[in-house]
Chains A and B, each alone.
Chain A
């Protein structure tokens, strides 16, 4: 199998087959909290794609050229979380100054992403699965696209659920979790694809 086919398969696998929310349970907070409206969900998804792709690139660079040569691999958790926190701040400032139109649509979501476990989880996964730098970026992008797919679908369903009649006890996040379970069942169907 050539390298390029491998990359495409990796992208599909991380976006759909091993969906970050529905099969790895990472990034549940924004998935539950920001999925009330399709518009906001799409904004959140865009911000997550932006941040995870950049942070996958930066963390794998740091791992390869700083942590590995100096034999400080065990510091990865500390280094990664600090790098991600700093990176999010930096991206926010950069967008505000240079690309105000993008900042307008993604800006409010960026600070929420720092403690999102999907970002740190992807960085650590890239390292433990020994991806090279290009593979890490592709994997990060795929994970984030998977998150966006899941949260936008969920927001679409929630907008309809509002008008449905279901047991009072399930009002709020309970019905969202049950819906997420049904979505996870649907996504399990992709397991045989790769």
Chain B
């Protein structure tokens, strides 16, 4: 398969950031109250991801290794500011409903994670397609979760009411607890799939975000100086088992 297409497929399916890698959970929980919000958040993250991947990969030989994290953050924050302005101008209602989560795209670990693990090591064109794949994968993930929550909470889909569900909606799923429940069930389903795939001898890529439970799985762990904490927490755990 063509290498660029392979990157897109990789992001959409094999290493889907929402379902497989479980990255970027803060926006996933916060904006998936409806399918439209999910699409809006996913696409704006995609734009930032593609642009920052391209610029970081173009500058990869110029940025000294020691200051790469601050440099990446400046690049990402600049693109987020641009996207924020564009959304305020062209899609004001979406801008209102996503609110603070637009500037918070800066600290979305998908973007810094891809910059660190892919864009800083590969040429511009593959990095661009990697950004497209990962971004679309994130968009699909957010949209699907948004659809499930919208059906459960409002009995509607993309704003269109589903008549038979009129009397059977659970408002709770549109609120904060519903977000946790839906994500908890999703993680449980993925745990089962993960185990089945392992039994078949085709293990899925490991969870990279904080849902893995400790720092070792984090894409940013090589740049993070807080690794001692992970070790300390693990020491505590093993100590307890021995007691």
> Residues of A with Cβ closer than 8 Å to B?
22-30, 32-34, 36-37, 39-40, 74-78, 81-82, 85, 108-112, 115-117, 120-121, 124-125, 128, 167-178, 180-182, 184-185, 188
Distance between B105 CB and nearest chain A CB, rounded to angstroms: 9
List residues of chain A with CB within 8 A of the CB of B106. Answer: 77, 81, 120
- Asked if residues A26 and B183 are in contact (CB atoms below 8 Å), the reply is no
Distance between A15 CB and nearest chain B CB, rounded to angstroms: 16
Interface string of B4-44 (1 = CB under 8 A from A): 00000000000000000000011101100000000000000
- Asked if residues A109 and B78 are in contact (CB atoms below 8 Å), the reply is no
List residues of chain B with CB within 8 A of the CB of A182. Answer: 177
Complex interface: stretch among B137-145, B146-154, B155-163, B205-213: B205-213
- Asked if residues B26 and A177 are in contact (CB atoms below 8 Å), the reply is no
Whether B166 is near chain A, meaning CB under 8 Å from some CB there, is no
The number of chain B residues touching the other chain, given as a range, is 35 or more
Distance between A152 CB and nearest chain B CB, rounded to angstroms: 15
- Asked if residues A173 and B213 are in contact (CB atoms below 8 Å), the reply is yes
Bound-state Cα–Cα, A26 to B213, Å: 17
> Residues of B with Cβ closer than 8 Å to A?
25-27, 29-30, 70, 73-74, 77-78, 80-81, 84-85, 100, 103-104, 106-107, 109, 112, 172, 175-181, 183-185, 187-189, 191-192, 209-215, 220, 224-226, 228-229, 232-233, 236-237
- Asked if residues A39 and B236 are in contact (CB atoms below 8 Å), the reply is yes
List residues of chain A with CB within 8 A of the CB of B177. Answer: 181-182, 184-185, 188
List residues of chain B with CB within 8 A of the CB of A75. Answer: 81
- Asked if residues B180 and A177 are in contact (CB atoms below 8 Å), the reply is yes
Also in contact, A81 and B175, with CB within 8 A (given A111-B225, A174-B184): no
Query: Which of B70, B81, B84, B178 is within 8 Å of A82, CB to CB?
Result: B70
Bound-state Cα–Cα, A32 to B215, Å: 11
Query: Which of A28, A33, A173, A181 is within 8 Å of B215, CB to CB?
Result: A33
Distance between B227 CB and nearest chain A CB, rounded to angstroms: 9
Query: Which of B26, B78, B211, B226 is within 8 Å of A78, CB to CB?
Result: B78
Distance between B130 CB and nearest chain A CB, rounded to angstroms: 21
User: Could you show 14 A-B contacts with beta carbons less than 8 Å apart?
Assistant: A28-B26, A40-B229, A78-B77, A82-B70, A82-B77, A108-B226, A110-B226, A115-B109, A120-B107, A121-B100, A169-B189, A173-B213, A178-B180, A181-B179
Also in contact, A181 and B184, with CB within 8 A (given A32-B211, A108-B232, A121-B104): yes
Bound-state Cα–Cα, A125 to B228, Å: 31
Query: Which of B26, B70, B85, B229 is within 8 Å of A25, CB to CB?
Result: B26
- Asked if residues B176 and A109 are in contact (CB atoms below 8 Å), the reply is no
Bound-state Cα–Cα, A171 to B74, Å: 38
- Asked if residues A28 and B25 are in contact (CB atoms below 8 Å), the reply is yes
- Asked if residues B213 and A23 are in contact (CB atoms below 8 Å), the reply is no
List residues of chain B with CB within 8 A of the CB of A33. Answer: 210, 213-215
